[in-house]
Amino acid sequence: MTSNLSPIDTAKFVAAKRAVEFVEDGMRVGLGTGSTAAWMVRCLGERVREEGLKVSGVPTSTRTAELARQVGIKVISLDDARWLDITIDGADEFDGDLNLIKGGGGALLQEKIVATASDLMIVITDPSKKVDTLGRFPLPVEVIPFGWQTTKALVEETLASLDVLGQQASLRMNGEAPFVTDEGNHIIDLHLQRIGNARQMSMVLNQIPGVVENGLFIDICDKVVIGHQDGRVEVEDINDGSHEEGTIEFADAENLFLDI
């Protein structure tokens, strides 16, 4: 075990290391965004360099694209790829049916487009992200800047008729200014505590004028790879109901991922 990796970083690394084992030569791979996905991009880059693995990566944000190029992954657009073999990404929450809340990193729109354009979506995570019911993590809703305050008011009005515990909505900020996504939009975070019907919530939110997309990923994730701080990894597959366990060696992670 490396002494300088925190327990959470170790869990992220071993999950990422296991997830990239699903990538095969010639695949078109969706590359997620966020701190956990960054470990995955680095692990995939390691395979490209050391094994000569040939893949094309479709990033879900400008920062993921930059990292992918740095580690030697060929970057293409989704329009060029047209369809993907696999997408690997993180999640802010997941439940027993592998439904997700994503968007903590602000890239939910591109992440959802890429994930739904894939034959297989794998989520890499740690045990703390698993919940019985979604909603503990604030639900991001991407909205266009024009009339965002009106859109926020409509969202809050809609929440009153839905099965949630909290109804607070806040504009995500970046210092003193509103946070801006890669698509030039804003994000409203919904502090709901519990979402009683995630499928209904997703459909209703997307009907509100000004809403571009929400961070509920329903029936999109196929596998979840859960990393633990002791190197153990669990793989759950929603399609066949399988559950695998194994161990990943991570003694070399310290030097390879020092800048993450």
**Which parts are annotated binding residues for substrate?**
33-36, 89-92, 102-105, 129
Name the active-site residue from 46, 93, 111, 213. 111
Long-range CB pairs of 165-173, under 8 A, 24+ apart, other chains included? 165/135, 165/192, 165/193, 165/194, 166/135, 166/190, 166/191, 166/192, 166/193, 166/194, 167/192, 172/106, 172/140
Pick from 147, 135, 138, 137: nearest CA to 185: 147
User: Is residue 142 annotated as a catalytic residue, yes or no?
Assistant: no
- State both tokens at 42: 């680095």
Q: Give the number of other CB atoms < 10 A from CB of residue 28.
A: 22
Number of residues assigned to the chain: 260
Catalytic (active-site) positions: 111
